[in-house]
Chain A
Amino acid sequence: MKLLISQSWKYASLALLLLVGLSATAKAQSGRLELAQLDALSSRASQTVEVNIDERLMQLTARFLSGKDDDERKIKELVNGLKGIYVKSFEFEHEGDYTAADIESIRSQLRNPGWSRIVNVNSKKEGSVEVYLMTIGARVEGLAVLATDPKEVTIVNIIGPVDLDKLTELEGQFGVPELGIEKSKPKSKN
């Protein structure tokens, strides 16, 4: 009986190890970041922005985007093929309300093989902006933008073949001016 138990544990451990390894590898290769660790920051933040759009909701939303409207057509083209967009942004009242340790879980994921940092801009006053791409071969599988300044942390994670040029060009569109205006009137749509 003891032999049976010990053998079972041995095989079960091996199977679990294999399972965990496979799932971790699959997740690491999917371009999806685990952002749940950042939830602890929400209790300290004065403002929190969170967006979770998975593939199903993305497809559903894309179906309702008009192909006639220029702006919506651009969005439709951009999100075509994407598997998810996840955003977390925290704004704090005071400097020091968050520390580097709070976002270390994100950085550690971005250090994994597969992710490569294509832009890294650091400034003591203005904070830093890092742009990471996950590529498999020549195919882009994910994008991550980690922007931090003394009072703000923002992480954007886009899963799938994202077109960086198109995404960058979106700034200032959809009735949202480029400058900081509190309210904007959306364009009338057909």
Chain B
Amino acid sequence: MTDYLWDRSGELDEDIQKLEEILAPLAYQPRPLELPATAQPGRRRNLYPVLAIAAAVALAALALGIWLNINRDASGVPQKAEATITAAVEKKDSPEIVDLPLKPNEDPKAGSHPNPRPVHRGTSPVRNQLALNRRHDRKTLEPQTEMSAAAALEAEAGKEQLLLALRLASSKLSLAVKRAQGGYPANLIRNQHKVG
């Protein structure tokens, strides 16, 4: 082994010289980089973040829509006038729901009927009169009358529910206050919401 192959010093072998001559055209020759005319460096944009953000926004909008829909359904109150008011009180031993159709000539705004007519069925307790599910025969009324009657009917049912809720809230609050203040007649206040 000569040092020629290491650092080009020392004696040169003929075979190596021939090989060098043969391979010389393939040796590295420094020259500037030539890009093809069609290549346009810097023009290509990364669209991934934009597409990802768009997808995220679309998903968020979808989720928002679902959430709003669920939230609206969970409110439990009909959104349209023709929808029925849910029953306020139910009892297992008399589970029937009383229907009170509105008569065409009945004016719900009239003050002479602040509360719905009680309907007794079998041995249902009086408090089950609150279990009302009213339907309105829309075909028998003019549109204008129909709208106001439905609204009045809904308001009337809402008033019943409101009174029931306020009674309950008031009785429980009073119970809390009285018990917090000491001696109280617990049996007198308990289950007061059954009344009416």
Contact = CB atoms under 8 A, between A and B. Distances in A.
On whether the two chains bind one another, the answer is yes
Contacts of B102: none
B158 A60 contact: yes
Interface string A71-106: 000010011000011110101000000000000000
Interface string A25-57: 000000000101000001001111111111011
A47 B90 contact: yes
B50 to A, nearest CB: 10
Contact of B127 (A10, A85, A129, A182): A182
Contacts of A176: 167, 192, 195-196
Contact of B114 (A48, A52, A171, A189): A189
Q: How large is the interface on A (under 10, 10 to 19, 20 to 34, 35 or more residues)?
A: 35 or more
Given A11-B56, A15-B56, A180-B194, A49 B168 contact: yes
A149 B190 contact: yes
A156 interface: yes
Nearest to B187: A180
A183 interface: yes
A53 B111 contact: no
A128 to B, nearest CB: 9
B124 to A, nearest CB: 12
A7 B169 contact: no
Interface stretch (A61-69, A108-116, A134-142): A61-69
A145 B152 CA distance: 30
Nearest to B185: A179
Contact of B180 (A119, A149, A182): A119
B12 interface: no
Contacts of A12: 52, 55-56, 59-60
Interface of B: 48-49, 51-53, 55-57, 59-60, 63-64, 67, 74-77, 79, 86-93, 109, 111, 114-115, 125-127, 151-152, 154-156, 158-159, 161-177, 179-180, 186-196
The 10 closest A-B pairs by CB, nearest first: A52-B76, A11-B56, A61-B158, A7-B52, A64-B155, A129-B176, A170-B170, A8-B55, A15-B60, A121-B179
